[in-house]
Amino acid sequence: MKQFISLSAICLCTLFFASCSKDNKEPITPGNKTAEIRYEATVDDPENFNLNIHYSIGEYNTTELPDGYEGKQVTTESPFKSEIITVNTGALLWLSATVEPKNEDYITTPMSANVEVKLYINGKLEHSKQSYNYAMIYCLYNPDKIIKW
C-alpha cells in the first residue's frame, strides 16, 4: 500500500511539473516593444465634485519597481485626460480616481457620485471600470495580451 501511495504521488508530481512547464513563456523584459498609453477619468456630477487622480507613468518594469514609487497625483475637474505616455513591455499601469467635494461643507455619501476610469493603449480603449466615489484599474502591459486585474 505504501508503495502504491508513493508511486501515485511521484506520478502526480511529475504530471504537475510537466504541465506547468508547457505554460511557461519567455519572461517579459522591458524595452522589447513600446506602446503609447493615455488615462481618462470622469465623474457624473462635475458641478459638485473634483477628481483626485493618482496614476503610474509606466517607466518601471514590475521587477524594477523601487520602494516608495508614487507615480503622479493631481486634483482636477472632470473630465481628466493624461498626457500620452510611452511605456515598455512589462510596465505596470494603474489609475485611481476618487471624488472630492468642491464645497468643503458638502457631505459625501456611499453613493455620492459615479466615477469612471479608462486606459487607452495605442489609441484603443483596453480597460475601464466605474463605481461610486472611487474607481481603479491596473494591468501589466504586454503587447501580446494585456494582463488585467
CB contact at 8 A, 87 and 58 = yes
Percent of the chain scoring above 90 in pLDDT: 40
**Predicted confidence (pLDDT) per residue in 33-80, tens digit:** 889 999 999 999 999 999 999 998 876 655 555 555 557 888 999 999
CB hemisphere CA count around 64 (13 angstroms): 12
Instruction: Give me the mean pLDDT over the 93-116 stretch.
Output: 86
Q: How far apart are CA 52 and CA 145, in angstroms?
A: 29
Question: What pLDDT sits at residue 63?
Answer: 53
Distance of CA 69 to the CA centre of its chain: 15
CB hemisphere CA count around 69 (13 angstroms): 17
Domains of the chain: 34-148 (2.60.60)
Q: Whole-model pTM?
A: 0.71
Cell numbers for 87: 511605456
